[in-house]
Chains A and B, each alone.
Chain A
Amino acid sequence: MALLLALAITGITLASMYYFMPSSGYWLPPFISEYGAAYDKHFMLTLVITGVIFFLAQIALAYTVFRYRGQGGKAQYILGNPKLEIVWTVAAGVIFVSLVFAGQNIWVRAHIEAAPADAIKIEMWGQQFVWYARYSGPDGQFGRTVPELMKESIGNPLGIDPEDPAGKDDLVMPVMAVPVNKPVEVILRSKDVIHNFSVRELRIKQDAVPGLENRLHFTASQIGNYEIPCMEICGLGHYQMRSFLQVKSEADYNQWLIDSAIQ
């Protein structure tokens, strides 16, 4: 039984670690934002450190179980070892807390540093179970939104006030297009319940909370089409609530704005 248990724990440990490696195919998609390189590096650092602890702890458990299987002798009378205890405790504390500080720069850049002044502002609105991206149009001003006017049935899902001149040129689209290599600030809003905006390739995620205007900023560096799945439970259609981030060349992006405005 002792041998079996030791082998089982070892086997589970090795198999688990095998699939945690990038080569298993279960891995993050390639990144396309300025956070990506730092994120992936810190993810790897955390994986290596926890991986080493995981391996050592499980193997120590397996070894102990096998080594000290009952063989008819008398067990050693050990009450503890305060010195070892303190060393172990301090080591664990230092490793865990320094890991937080090592990774804090990603959080600071994403959330504490403001978006660059020239960032393109896009509002991303969640509603059960669709996304709407709003662009401010040539005037650079978002028009006022009025809850009473929010009616998809008359083509005004975000309730843009027709009385407000700033809203005349606002563009509302079911997908979010952005120009490549240009900073973008996303203002997250919700009409109804909490939704969550995330793009795996950007390595960012943020709730869209009704009543708040949560903000994110990023610069996408690869042209392509990326999925935006809702990541906060919002009702029965949660699993199908999806939009796309379309990263386009600057010319394509400008053309898209013009084409979309005409429609």
Chain B
Amino acid sequence: MSHGTAAAPHVHQAPTGFWKKYIFSLDHKVIGIQYWLLALTAVFVGMGLSLYMRLRLAWPSGEFPFFGGAQMTPEMYLALVTMHGTIMVFFVLTTAPQGGFGNYFLPIQIGAADMAFPVLNMLSFWVTFVAFVVMILAFFVEGGAPIGSWVAYPPLSAVGAIAGPGQGMGMNMWIISIGIFCLGALLGALNFIATTLDMRARGMSMMRMPMTCWVWFVTAVLGLLAFGVLLAAGILLLLDRTAGTSFFVPGGLVISEQLIDHKGGSPILWQHLFWFFGHPEVYIAILPGMGATSQILAVFSRKPVYGYRAMVMAMCGIGLLGFLVWGHHMFISGMSPYTAMVFSVLTLSIGVPSAIKTFNWIGTMWGGQIRFTAPMLYAIGFVSLFISGGLSGIFLGQPSLDLYLHDTYFVVGHFHLVMGVAAIFGMFAGTQYWFPKMFGKMMNETMSKIHFWVTFLGVYAIFMPMHYMGIVGHPRRYADTSGVDFLAPLQDMHVFISYAAMITIGAQLLFLFNIIWSMMKGPKASDNPWEATTLEWSIPSPPPFDNFGGRVPVVYRGPYEYSRPGEAKDFVMQDEPMK
């Protein structure tokens, strides 16, 4: 069935007008670049916010530009925490790896002319874009940007302006933006699943798909199951705030000596719904990075992916287990202590597929002929960061140890390494790897390497010390260290981290400059500059409107025919017929 569909690709004409071609385009490649640009914008906004957080943490009484020459208030700091987390998780980690690279390369890698539903695809991007605009506008409404961190726990987030700054219109905007984002993500997920199942070229069986296609597929399934729950939870929270319902607010609350007019709700219910989404979201963020890493390690080691079948199973295992561990975010919330024990066993079980992946990444390079191109450097960086960030999860997944470490900087260090910068290294790697295909130009190698080195050392200098602060007991989401005596000795470390952050953030400007410079002045890319085997490298750079230029690709081989004995070259393209 699927093969029959792909054999007769949609024939749609390339649009000629500016709006149809670049703005409301139905072309998955344009939409992919739109997602990628949205994430690029969002990551610089999110990083800018973190820069201000770091300034306040290192120099609490300092006066910084854009704050009217005044000190940053604690409520502003918390608004930055909230917006930084939200923008990074939703508009960067969920947007670029899946919406960006997935949109651009899934159809090409499986040999299709476009996604299954091009109009839906355009809609999902523009819906996501509107969500971003609403989120940014939350900075400028009365009462200020929302405060609640990216988890927005009620009652704080549910009772309105009486609970303090950021709980008024800003919080409504936050919820509405997240709701809109969920819609876009659901539409996108449907499209990815349908495309993967139905649009594969003749010969492209599931087990001949590149690892990247597998991760986009699994991620889409996770998204389809997770975002619906968040959407529902968001609607309930909005109703609590605006329509007088009490899903998440219990009776008898008193704030500023005023009785709150709610009763019968449960704050814990929100945590269950939020984390039922929130934990799979972690994998939505990291799986595409894992796929890109697997792909890139194989290409530049000139070897097949080690244990392809085990990698696919590990990926599916992570996806499944990812839905069964949300309670490890709630060990100390007051839920039943028996459930905590079940969740901890399931959580630590996720270490198993993660261990398989790490083992196989090293296995992929073992015995190879490694080419240290820029994309390869980021992929190796990804593996190192994934090991470092993943292992601290072994502490946090145990309720016994969480009794001390919960909500300390140990957690901040852990998730920033693993789902933050490891995932972002996946994006760096993807950008470097696919840039020649997307824009027809090579990126500047020197700038790329300088950027890699500063960023790789920089992120370790930022996030490793946070673990040490967490072991001392430093709580998260503190505007400064003045309120608690035992934090005073950690102030020097805050200053160190802030310097490291400033240098690392500075290096990102070089990355941005490299992108712009290379788009304009970069040397022209050939069809297959990396000597890779998957289908996107069998077509021109950049690809024509219908991807394969009227040709119907047929696949004869698996995705990783590198250094196969008896072949003349050290790679054989997937669409090269068997002799």
Contact in complex: A85, B334 (CB < 8 Å): no
- Docked pose: A46 CA to B402 CA in angstroms: 12
- Docked pose: A192 CA to B253 CA in angstroms: 5
Residues of B contacting A43 in the complex (Cβ-Cβ under 8 angstroms)? 395, 401, 404
Does residue A148 face the partner (Cβ distance < 8 Å to B)? yes
Contact in complex: A150, B358 (CB < 8 Å): no
Partner of B391, one of A50, A148, A192, A231: A50
Contact in complex: B464, A26 (CB < 8 Å): no
Does residue B366 face the partner (Cβ distance < 8 Å to A)? yes
Interface residue tally on B, bucketed by range: 35 or more
Partner of A96, one of B348, B365, B453: B348
CB interface residues, B 259-288, toward A, < 8 Å: 259-260, 265-268
- Docked pose: A211 CA to B334 CA in angstroms: 11
Does residue B473 face the partner (Cβ distance < 8 Å to A)? yes
Given A5-B372, A71-B369, verify A147-B303 contact (CB < 8 Å).
no
Of A86-94, A177-185, A245-253, the one with at least 4 CB within 8 A of chain B: A86-94
- Docked pose: A16 CA to B73 CA in angstroms: 33
Contact in complex: B472, A26 (CB < 8 Å): yes
Partner of A75, one of B255, B302, B308, B360: B302
Contact in complex: A212, B303 (CB < 8 Å): no
- Docked pose: A30 CA to B479 CA in angstroms: 26
Does residue A23 face the partner (Cβ distance < 8 Å to B)? no
Contact in complex: B358, A211 (CB < 8 Å): no
- Docked pose: A128 CA to B163 CA in angstroms: 9
Residues of A contacting B254 in the complex (Cβ-Cβ under 8 angstroms)? 127, 147, 150, 159, 191-192
Does residue A263 face the partner (Cβ distance < 8 Å to B)? no
Given A194-B267, A209-B267, verify A85-B307 contact (CB < 8 Å).
yes
Residue of B nearest to A66 (CB): B370
Contact in complex: B460, A39 (CB < 8 Å): no
Does residue A222 face the partner (Cβ distance < 8 Å to B)? no
- Docked pose: A80 CA to B362 CA in angstroms: 11
Does residue B59 face the partner (Cβ distance < 8 Å to A)? no
Q: Tell me how many residues of A have a C-beta within 8 Å of chain B.
A: 105
Residue of A nearest to B311 (CB): A80
- Docked pose: A9 CA to B392 CA in angstroms: 18
Given A68-B369, A80-B306, A107-B403, verify A92-B155 contact (CB < 8 Å).
no
Contact in complex: B251, A211 (CB < 8 Å): yes
Between A9, A57, A148, A153, the greatest number of chain B beta carbons within 10 A of the residue's beta carbon is seen for A57
- Docked pose: A207 CA to B155 CA in angstroms: 13
Does residue A100 face the partner (Cβ distance < 8 Å to B)? yes
Of B20-28, B481-489, B514-522, the one with at least 4 CB within 8 A of chain A: B481-489
Partner of B351, one of A71, A81, A92, A159: A92
Does residue B540 face the partner (Cβ distance < 8 Å to A)? no
Given A147-B253, A229-B475, verify A39-B367 contact (CB < 8 Å).
no
Contact in complex: B352, A239 (CB < 8 Å): no
Residue of A nearest to B457 (CB): A8
CB interface residues, A 40-87, toward B, < 8 Å: 42-43, 46-47, 49-50, 53-54, 57-58, 60-61, 64-65, 68-82, 85
Having A191-B255, A233-B81, one finds 10 other A-B pairs with CB under 8 Å, namely A70-B368, A75-B563, A78-B363, A85-B360, A88-B359, A100-B344, A207-B332, A210-B155, A229-B475, A235-B167
- B contact residues vs A (CB 8 Å cutoff): 73-75, 78, 81, 147-149, 153, 155-156, 159, 163-167, 250-255, 257, 259-260, 265-268, 301-304, 306-310, 332-334, 337-338, 340-341, 344-345, 348-349, 351-352, 355-356, 358-360, 362-363, 365-372, 377, 380, 383-384, 387-388, 391-392, 394-395, 397-404, 406-408, 453, 456-457, 460, 464-465, 467-469, 471-473, 475-480, 482-486, 562-565, 570
